[in-house]
Structure 1
Amino acid sequence: MLKSLFNWKVLVNLVVAIGVFVGLVWLTFRWLEYHTNHGQEIPVPNVVNKSVHDAIKILDDTGLEYEVDSSKYDPKYRPFQVLQVYPSPGSRVKDGRTVRLRVNPRSWAPVAVPDVINKYSGLAFQRIDQVGLKVGDTIFEPSIQKDAILRVLYKGNTIKPGSLIPRFSTIDVVIGSGPMRNISIPNVVGLSVKEARAVIARSMFEVGLVDHEDGGKDESDIIYYQDPASGDVRDQGMQMDLWASKKTPAELSAKIEQLNSVYRMKVDTSLPPVQYQEVIPPHQEPNYEPAAPPVQRREVPKPEPVKTEATKPAASKPATSSADNKLKTSTTGSNSKPANNQPAEKPKAKKVIID
């Protein structure tokens, strides 16, 4: 067995196999070196603060690929200015390597306008703020949808929901201020149904019942009757009923009279004039009684004393009456003392002889 192993033919085959293996390995590395440009590196050029157009031209000249990222806007830098390069400038990369450029865009990234039409203004403002837009002017317009968003304006033009505008842009909104009161009803008699709908919509009323005489729904039929009548005053948002036909209103006079008897009934609300007669009592002269003259008090004369013969008493002073004493005390004052503190003597009885 050992002899067969060391046979020259076996040794030749082994040497050939080793040579073929080494050759394949060498060729493989050579191919990889050629394919990957092994040992050939290019420094990344410094294109920071250059415009994106100039940066792309420089990268093309050096044989490097590029990728532009302009998703974030920074108002401190110029539009289309290169802000950052990856790999960093000066790094050595192989030929064909992709270099990423972060570029400042022209303006903010566009955002879609949210659908806030016919939504309550408070909720609409929150939705607009969430997407990064700002509300500028609020314009109020008469509408039956009070406090609802009617339209969205951008730079004075109406835009639809979903339109793309730059982020942080300012938009104006039109808000309904509610229906107006006591608005005159427009006259749509003689117009087609289609034209009448447009007139009613401009006046901010609603189309109610539309009665076609032939039972169809042809919008070209002529309006020959309306309720309420033209000239009546109603609040905006009220419904208007229409009667339409292919005939002219003159040909439907009998039908119009019949409708007038139903919808134009004249109710006599007048009242007879009320006459107010004021009842005045007969004039009576006031009866003034003359005032009674003042009653004069008559003094009753004192009866004269009967003269009788009597013996005159001895000379004696007349007794002073109590009234005279009082008068004297009142004149002399309370501090004066009576001159005589003895009691007054009683007068003596007179002897009266009656014949």
Structure 2
Amino acid sequence: MLKSLFNWKVLLNLVIAIGVFAGLIWLTFRWLEHHTNHGQEIPVPNIVNKSIHDAVKILDDTGLEYEVDSANYNPKFRPFQVLQVYPAPGSRVKDGRTVHLTVNPRTWAPIAVPDVINKYSGLAFQRLDQVGLKIGDTIYEPSIQKDALLRILYKGNAVNPGARLPRFSVIDVVVGSGPMRNISIPNVVGLTVKEARAVITKSMFEVGLVEHEDGSKDESDIIYYQDPASGDVRDQGMQIDLWASKKTPAELRAKIEQLNSIYRMKVDTSLPPVRYEEVHNEPSYDAPVVPAPVPRRETPKPEVPKTETPKTQTTTSKPAVTGTEKPKTSTVAPATGHTAKPAASTTTQQPAQKPKAKKVVVE
């Protein structure tokens, strides 16, 4: 096998293959040098702080391509002023190399208006300020959405979310001030449902229940009844219920009377008139009232049993006294001649009176 490897034919083919490979490599590098202009370099000119028109003219004269990029507007520099160049000025590049230019635009770039409609005004103002819009006048308009941002105005015209405006543009905003109080209900009887919706919405009320007599939802039906009634006073934002039919209100008189008995009940809230009389408080000088004496209750007189006395003792008794005085009895002892104490009474005791002296005769 080694003998066949060193055959002159094999060696000749190997030398030819190496020569072809080396030739291809040499031709490739020569083509690259010719195509890329090897050794031919151009210095990048210094065009910083020049206007874009002058910078483009200089790059065209040197044979360099350019690409312009508008950066964020900076009021410190002139409009269309070249702020930056890449590659940096003085660098050597090939002929036809693209140079990137950063240019200050003429004014602020437009921005999209954020969707802040019907949002709370505090959050809406913060969002508008973040995107670079300045708020001018704040206009308050009656609305059931209190403190909500209703519209955005730019130069007097309404602006929809997504519209593009220059950065730091001054805009006016319309904010809801809340519903108004004690507003008269509009009369929509006789109008179509579509017309009634427009009138109710214009008056800052809301459409509540819409009942069609035939069960359909035809917007051309005629309104023959409404609740609350026209002329009633309500706050804005209240709902108004509607009854609609293809017939006229005159043809639905019975139905209207039935609805009146339900929604128009008369309640007597009147009160009797109040009479006001003047009262003069004068001091009185009447004598103090003395309570009447309580009559004394008489108790029955107790009976005193008679007692026998000895012959040697003589008892004298005072005759009964009529009236309020009580009878007095006395008893004399046979020997001593002293009188005995009167019997105790069941009524209130009175101070004892000293009895009169009596004559006693002893036989």
Q: TM-score, normalised by structure 2?
A: 0.67
Structure 2 equivalent of residue 228 of structure 1: 228
1:41-190 equivalent positions in 2, closer than 5 A: 41-190=41-190
**Is contact 1:210–1:242 with CA below 8 Å preserved after alignment?**
yes
Q: Distance in 1 between matches of 2:279 and 2:148?
A: 63
Counting aligned pairs with the same residue, the percent is 85
What amino acid maps onto 2:184 in structure 1? Answer: S
CA, structure 1 residues 103+3, in 2 after alignment: closer, same or farther (shift >3 Å)?
A: same
CA, structure 1 residues 232+10, in 2 after alignment: closer, same or farther (shift >3 Å)?
A: closer
What amino acid maps onto 1:265 in structure 2? Answer: M
CA, structure 1 residues 7+83, in 2 after alignment: closer, same or farther (shift >3 Å)?
A: same
Report the more deviating stretch, 259-268 or 239-248.
259-268
1:214 aligns with 2:214: yes
Q: Distance in 2 between matches of 1:253 and 1:2?
A: 126
**Is contact 1:121–1:147 with CA below 8 Å preserved after alignment?**
yes
Aligned residue pairs, count:
280
Report deviation, 1:174: 1.3
**Is contact 1:182–1:233 with CA below 8 Å preserved after alignment?**
yes
Report the more deviating stretch, 78-87 or 193-202.
78-87
Q: Give the unaligned 5+ runs of structure 1.
A: 281-355
Q: Distance in 2 between matches of 1:141 and 1:23?
A: 87
Report deviation, 1:12: 6.3
Report deviation, 1:201: 0.9
Q: Distance in 1 between matches of 2:2 and 2:183?
A: 123
**Is contact 1:71–1:109 with CA below 8 Å preserved after alignment?**
no
Q: Distance in 1 between matches of 2:26 and 2:69?
A: 42
1:17-49 CA distance string (max 9 Å, x none)? 554344323212111101212122223234334
Q: Give the unaligned 5+ runs of structure 2.
A: 281-363
For the residue of structure 1 that corresponds to 2:122, the secondary structure is: helix
1:55-88 CA distance string (max 9 Å, x none)? 3454345443322221311012232222221122
Please, what is the CA RMSD of the aligned residues? 3.2
Structure 1 equivalent of residue 284 of structure 2: none
CA, structure 1 residues 16+241, in 2 after alignment: closer, same or farther (shift >3 Å)?
A: closer
CA, structure 1 residues 51+246, in 2 after alignment: closer, same or farther (shift >3 Å)?
A: farther
Q: Distance in 1 between matches of 2:274 and 2:235?
A: 35
What amino acid maps onto 1:186 in structure 2? Answer: P
Report deviation, 1:179: 0.8
What amino acid maps onto 1:69 in structure 2? Answer: D
Report the more deviating stretch, 139-148 or 60-69.
60-69
**Is contact 1:227–1:241 with CA below 8 Å preserved after alignment?**
yes
Report deviation, 1:279: 11
CA, structure 1 residues 12+146, in 2 after alignment: closer, same or farther (shift >3 Å)?
A: closer
For the residue of structure 2 that corresponds to 1:78, the secondary structure is: coil
Q: Distance in 2 between matches of 1:5 and 1:144?
A: 102
Q: Distance in 1 between matches of 2:121 and 2:174?
A: 10
Structure 2 equivalent of residue 25 of structure 1: 25
CA, structure 1 residues 58+278, in 2 after alignment: closer, same or farther (shift >3 Å)?
A: closer
**Is contact 1:212–1:243 with CA below 8 Å preserved after alignment?**
yes
Structure 2 equivalent of residue 265 of structure 1: 265
For the residue of structure 2 that corresponds to 1:191, the secondary structure is: coil
Report deviation, 1:253: 2.3
CA, structure 1 residues 279+12, in 2 after alignment: closer, same or farther (shift >3 Å)?
A: closer
Q: TM-score, normalised by structure 1?
A: 0.69
What amino acid maps onto 1:144 in structure 2? Answer: I
Report the more deviating stretch, 255-264 or 266-275.
266-275
Q: Distance in 2 between matches of 1:200 and 1:85?
A: 64
Structure 2 equivalent of residue 346 of structure 1: none
Report the more deviating stretch, 3-12 or 92-101.
3-12
